[in-house]
A and B are shown apart, each in its own frame.
Chain A
Amino acid sequence: MSSVLLAMQTTLLNDMRPFGVMAHVMVLFAASAGVVYGSEIGALAGLIIGLMYDSVLTTPLGLASLVLGATAYIAGVFPYLVRDSSWWSKIIAVAMASAIGEILFPVAQAMVGYSGWVQWRVLTVALVVGVVNLVFAPVMLLLTKWTLKETLVG
């Protein structure tokens, strides 16, 4: 599943850039894992997904892994903030976690010395990614339940 999503990320989503921003399906997957299965399993899934994503990026290996792990962990916290989480609150949680994850990328890059990406543009990127992931979150939540059921959850 991660390989297929990564392939979509490097091909289709890399070409289609609404408002000049690339939609981020890897962040969406990590956030969905966090929302569906909680912080711990989410973080595990995020770290593994991130390692795969790292392999096609030019940033230092391991950076996206930490970012996606943190994103999924944060996403896993959101359901605890509402009393009875419904389907739409999960979707909003995925979108918010995605936006936060997108902000974490340049912050993490700055922490290892690549400080040039901390710009106001980050907010635009986070907003666009958040909105796009809000649209695709229902499908991804279903896919996450289906794909992670037999593996990480046990």
Chain B
Amino acid sequence: MIEIIDLSKSYGEKTVLNKLNAKFEEGMIHGILGPNGCGKTTLIKSMLGLVHIQNGDVLLDGVPLKSCREKVSWLPQHPEAPRNTTPQELFDFIEDLRGEKAVFKESLIREFEFAKELAKPLKALSGGNFQKCFLIATLMFDVPLIILDEPTVGLDPVAAARFKKILAERSKTTTILLISHITSEIEQLSDKVHFLLEGQWAFSGHVKDLENQTGFEDFESSIVHVLSQRREAYSEKV
């Protein structure tokens, strides 16, 4: 269980997260949605300790997340590593750094048909294979929390389908936070959705609950409805 308690983060005078609270139950895929600049990336970076928060706590099973980073695996939106190193060197490096065997590495390499790319420098990989390399690096450890930021960008339909199958399998034992702008992907994969708007949750719950709440039959229209309602409320307030 991930608990976010009164999380606040500002950059100068701009408040990005304002006393945000959340609970992400274990063994589920939690889809996190929101328009550009709503604070999704800041939320994840605050959880991981990449940005210094002004206030609040992020707990994984009651322990501050920043002090148990070996239990988390993160795929950033724009993953990067020295381009002249190979995927094999990158995987070995992360294994050594964590001091832990990557139990899912071989099966992921097989699933993504990645074996022939292992010895090539990263700069020689296509966009899709580059993304596969970092997906493997993220998913290869048996950790209780996986955070994925736009994971299917650049993947071909076959690889994307395989990724979704792997994710569904892993979610039985792992809490997964999935950040994406592709609403159909969030709808298809997530058990719960959390819609972030101006540093606060506009909605947090099951997809069906959202559709029932808004009266729309499809997920995308429900999201657009919540977004426009909030914006109207915000304009009136201003």
A binds B: no
